[in-house]
Amino acid sequence: MHQPVMVEKVVEFLNVQPDCVYIDATCGTGNHTRAIIEAADGNCKMVCIDKDPRAIERAKEYLRDFSDRIIFINDGFENIEKIFRDAGLDRAHGILFDLGFSFEQISSGEAGFGFKQDGPLDMRFNKNSLITAYDVINRFPKNEIEKIFEEFGEIKDAKKLAHLICMERKNKPFETTREFADFITKHRKSKKTIHPATQVFQAIRIFVNNEIENLKMGLAGAVNVLASGARIVVISYHSIEDRIVKKFMKTNERIKMVTKKVIVPDNLEVVINPRARSAKMRVGEVIN
């Protein structure tokens, strides 16, 4: 099961209090939500959002004991203001963004987020999105693939890689995540600790789900649904996201940064949960 990252710090920095309303903007399996409700002695309301309908189903099951305190919403956090308007909700007292994907999503292979399990070249959190990883890899022009790799994967050999992909797909389209990852591995050297296909998969996933624009919209929207003094806690897993979060916290005139330095997991957590290794947390507070 998904191991939540920096749970105690999330609860501490959200400043969880009883009788308040919190938003879990990326509910996933619901681990952080559970910790927040427990920290409020079972006495708070949660708005749990996730773009992936399967995540919402898992969270409903995992959090069934608290179902009377949770509103589940299968939507993107980029629509947070509309979500609040449509549901007639009052301002909330804190929001958590735990970005990226969950263990369940990557390990099921179903949506093709990873390559350890074979799966279709899809990578969409929600099937309503139009473009799949298959489209990017097999149909996009070379220069667009190169741009995606550079911009969202910070891949140095993006040009060469895009060229090789376009040559290979002339013979036969790439069909599965393993097949594509094996091809990348054959043509790419990478640091020992990172699989050669990791950044490539990250780049395509970010593009397919429009993750960068959505994050900017989600953060900007969050300010408008939060009460004065409410905290925004964001956990990101790569530098592209972290830069956006940092800029938002520094430049948004309605946000005061709570901690100047980025918060990271301690060594023990990284040993127990290797996924935590790249996690960075930033915290802001709404000032009016």
Ligand X SMILES: C[S@@+](CC[C@H](N)C(=O)[O-])C[C@H]1O[C@@H](n2cnc3c(N)ncnc32)[C@H](O)[C@@H]1O
d(CA 74, CA 54): 9
What residue has token string 């990873």?
Answer: 114
Is the separation of the CB atoms in 78 and 217 below 8 Å? yes
| Stretch near ligand X under the rule CB under 6 A, chosen from 83-91, 99-107, 112-120, 258-266 | 99-107
Asked if residue 58 binds ligand X (CB under 6 A), the reply is no
Asked if residue 214 binds ligand X (CB under 6 A), the reply is yes
Residues in contact with ligand X, total (CB under 6 A)? 22
Asked if residue 70 binds ligand X (CB under 6 A), the reply is no
Asked if residue 102 binds ligand X (CB under 6 A), the reply is yes
Which of 77, 152, 183, 248 is in the footprint of ligand X by CB under 6 A? 77
| Stretch near ligand X under the rule CB under 6 A, chosen from 40-48, 100-108, 171-179, 248-256 | 100-108
d(CA 25, CA 192): 34
Q: Which of 8, 81, 84 is nearest to 39 (CA)?
A: 8
Q: In terms of DSSP bridges, do strands 280-286 and 70-74 run parallel, antiparallel, or are they unpaired?
A: unpaired
Residue number, 184 or 240, with CB nearest to ligand X: 240
Residue number, 102 or 198, with CB nearest to ligand X: 102
| Stretch near ligand X under the rule CB under 6 A, chosen from 94-102, 161-169, 186-194, 260-268 | 94-102
Q: In terms of DSSP bridges, do strands 70-74 and 255-257 run parallel, antiparallel, or are they unpaired?
A: unpaired
Asked if residue 101 binds ligand X (CB under 6 A), the reply is yes
Partners of residue 23 on adjacent β-strands: 47, 95
Residue number, 38 or 175, with CB nearest to ligand X: 38
Print burial letters for 221-254: b (CB count within 10 Å at least 16), e (below 16). bbbebbeeebbbbbbbbbebbbebbbebbeebee
Asked if residue 207 binds ligand X (CB under 6 A), the reply is no
d(CA 228, CA 255): 10
Asked if residue 284 binds ligand X (CB under 6 A), the reply is no
Which of 6, 16, 32, 223 is in the footprint of ligand X by CB under 6 A? 32
Asked if residue 4 binds ligand X (CB under 6 A), the reply is yes
First and final C-alpha spacing in the chain = 39
Q: What are the residues binding ligand X (CB under 6 A)? A: 2, 4, 26, 28-32, 49-52, 55, 76-78, 98, 100-102, 125, 214
